[in-house]
Amino acid sequence: MHCPDCQSQQIVKNGKITLQDGACVQKYLCKSCRKQFNDRTGMPMARLRTPSAIVTLAMNVRTEGMGVRGTGRSFGKSHSTIIRA
Ligand SMILES: [Zn+2]
């Protein structure tokens, strides 16, 4: 774990926030540059505000060698199933 801004490892936990989709996100404070960030900061899919389970799954799918298009297609099929689980 390091600061996405200055790469410092002087990170402290700084409370939690609950997003609109109900996902709980850990917030952090960088003691070096005093910037705040959270678990999703810097992640490519952060702006989509998808539940973190889907984000994680999407990452796994992508690391397993599927292209971006393939990832999107598999989510089109299984989106509601993932939400329920
Ligand atoms: Zn920093």
2 vs 30: CA distance, rounded Å? 8
pLDDT of amino acid 9: 94
Domains assigned to the chain: 1-42 (2.20.25), 48-85 (no CATH)
pTM: 0.47
Q: What residues have their beta carbon closer than 5 A to ion ligand 1? A: 3, 5-6, 8, 30, 32-33
Mean pLDDT, residues 13-31: 91
Convert the pLDDT of each residue in 42-83 to its tens digit.
Answer: 554 445 555 666 667 777 766 666 565 555 565 565 555 555
The residue among 23 and 58 whose pLDDT is bigger is: 23
Residue 29 CA, ligand 1 centroid: distance in Å? 8
23 pLDDT band, cuts 50/70/90, is confident
CA-nearest of 32, 39, 34 to 15 is: 39
